[in-house]
């Protein structure tokens, strides 16, 4: 079976999902011929570009301020100004899909690939994203963020045109409009360590949140903390707080032996902490609706505490067992792809 991917490249969450699905497809003798991904000023992650034949294109960007807050109006204006380039990228994607003739296009929340479905009516599409669960009746509601909620609704619509929707979730639910699916995580995050060390592991997306963690570490000298964060300036830290630069593999290994986790409101990292059985405090990025929604959702279902600041006193004492639900991802991926695997006439190159 021949497959094309579309992957949103804002952060690593959707990239990680694409790697998980690729591993599953390989086990069924299917292959990913190419991946569409929006180019980024700092480049795409090497672990992604080394794994796939990536076709970069102009994409929709989200603007952040110096403190990591989402700037909604700036994001809208910036994307309107680059509309001619976005249209050219859309037609390039359409031409490539028509030329490649895949059995299915799998879209991990990339808007231009979603819209391309309108121009290749004979090609089936599947779309994956935790965002597809957010408008559903069972999802806990969060006040405010009206404009960002509208943008999420538009993006959900654009990414899922003519597509079979797979809604990723921390927990099992039932809804006829989507296929519920556990988080799609890296294989390395599924193994556990027999060792446990008495330290708290933190990952902060925004340097501005580091100040609250430093203050909390000073108030709790009995707690040892290791924090992974990208810093642009020197920070005075107490002896019980160690700062590391961003390092995905090292962070993942430290998660397996830590006592508890503090992380942003991102879906993938929080899900990995849940799978590892770690008590979890989620600290969403300022003015970032999706991260606040993820944090509120996890808290509502007893999977995490959340706070706008990194406060060690708010860490829960335990974590629910999510293993039975998280372990069903292969079964559900089989269900999603079975019609295409059974009907495919393509052969692995």
Residue 26 to residue 105: CA distance in whole angstroms: 15
Flag whether 98 is in a domain. yes
Q: pLDDT confidence of 45, banded at 50, 70, 90?
A: confident
What's 142's DSSP letter?
-
Residue 135 structural domain: 2-182+328-343
* pTM exceeds 0.85, yes or no: yes
- 155-190 pLDDT, tens per residue? 999 999 999 999 999 999 999 999 999 999 988 889
Report pLDDT digits (tens) over 239-280: 999 999 988 889 999 999 999 999 999 999 999 999 999 999
From CA 125, how far away is CA 134, in angstroms rounded? 21
DSSP 8-class letter at 220? -
Does the pLDDT at position 81 exceed 90?
no
Residues 294-313 have a mean pLDDT of 96
Q: pLDDT band for 205, please (50, 70, 90 cuts).
A: confident
pLDDT band at 74 (very low <50, low <70, confident <90, very high): confident
Question: Given this model, what pLDDT does residue 347 score?
Answer: 53
- Does 235 share its domain with 308? yes
Residue 97: partners with Cβ closer than 8 Å, 6 or more residues away: 4, 105, 116, 120, 123
pLDDT in tens, 14-44: 999 999 999 999 999 999 999 999 988 778 8
Sheet of 125-129, strand order: 54-57, 31-38, 2-7, 104-108, 125-129, 163-168, 179-181
Q: 201 and 162 share a domain?
A: no
Q: Is residue 348 part of a domain?
A: no
For residues 317 and 334, state if they share a domain: no
Q: Over the chain, what is the mean pLDDT?
A: 92
73 and 27 in a common domain: yes
- On whether both 214 and 339 belong to a single domain, the answer is no
The region of weakest confidence among 69-83, 122-136, 243-257 is: 69-83
- In angstroms, the CA 302 to CA 319 distance is 8
In a domain? residue 60: yes
* Helix/strand number for the chain, H first, E second: 12, 13
- Indicate if 111 and 246 belong to the same structural domain: no
Same domain, 10 and 156: yes
* pLDDT > 60? residue 59: yes
**CATH number for position 158:** 3.40.50.2000
> Is 68 inside a domain boundary?
yes
Give residue 231's pLDDT: 87
Instruction: Assess if residue 349 is contained within a domain.
Output: no
Q: Which of 302, 279, 306, 280 is nearest to 293 (CA)?
A: 306
Task: Specify whether 227 is located in the same domain as 169.
Answer: no
Q: Do both 157 and 32 map to the same domain?
A: yes
Distance separating the N- and C-terminal Cα atoms of the chain: 10
Distance CA 320, CA 86 (A): 44
In a domain, 165, yes or no: yes
């Amino acid at each position: 079976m021949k497959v094309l991917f579309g992957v949103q490249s804002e952060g690593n969450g959707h990239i990680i999902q694409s790697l998980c699905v690729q591993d599953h497809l390989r086990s069924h003798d299917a292959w990913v011929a190419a991946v569409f991904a929006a180019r980024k000023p700092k480049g795409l992650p090497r672990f992604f570009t080394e794994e796939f034949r990536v076709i970069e294109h102009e994409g929709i960007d989200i603007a952040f301020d110096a403190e990591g807050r989402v700037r909604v109006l700036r994001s809208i204006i910036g994307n309107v100004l680059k509309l001619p380039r976005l249209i050219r990228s859309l037609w390039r994607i359409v031409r490539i899909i028509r030329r490649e003739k895949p059995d299915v296009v799998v879209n991990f929340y990339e808007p231009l690939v979603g819209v391309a479905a309108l121009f290749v009516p004979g090609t089936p599409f599947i779309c994956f994203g935790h965002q597809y669960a957010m408008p559903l009746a069972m999802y806990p509601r969060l006040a405010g963020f009206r404009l960002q909620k509208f943008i999420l609704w538009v993006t959900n619509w654009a990414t899922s045109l003519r597509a079979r929707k797979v809604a990723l979730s921390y927990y099992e639910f039932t809804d006829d409009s989507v296929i519920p699916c556990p988080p799609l995580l890296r294989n390395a995050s599924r193994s556990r360590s027999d060792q446990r060390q008495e330290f708290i592991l933190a990952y902060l997306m925004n340097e501005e949140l580091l100040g609250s963690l430093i203050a909390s570490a000073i108030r709790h000298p009995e707690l040892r903390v290791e924090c992974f964060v990208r810093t642009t300036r020197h920070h005075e830290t107490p002896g019980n707080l160690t700062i590391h630069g961003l390092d995905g593999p090292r962070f993942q290994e430290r998660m397996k032996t830590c006592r508890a986790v503090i992380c942003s409101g991102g879906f993938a990292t929080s899900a990995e902490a849940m799978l590892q059985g770690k008590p979890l405090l989620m600290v969403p990025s300022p003015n970032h609706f999706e991260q606040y929604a993820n944090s509120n959702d996890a808290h509502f279902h007893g999977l995490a505490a959340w706070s706008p600041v990194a406060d060690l006193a708010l860490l829960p004492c335990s974590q629910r067992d999510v293993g039975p639900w998280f372990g069903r991802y292969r079964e559900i991926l089989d269900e999603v792809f079975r019609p295409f695997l059974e009907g495919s006439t393509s052969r692995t190159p």
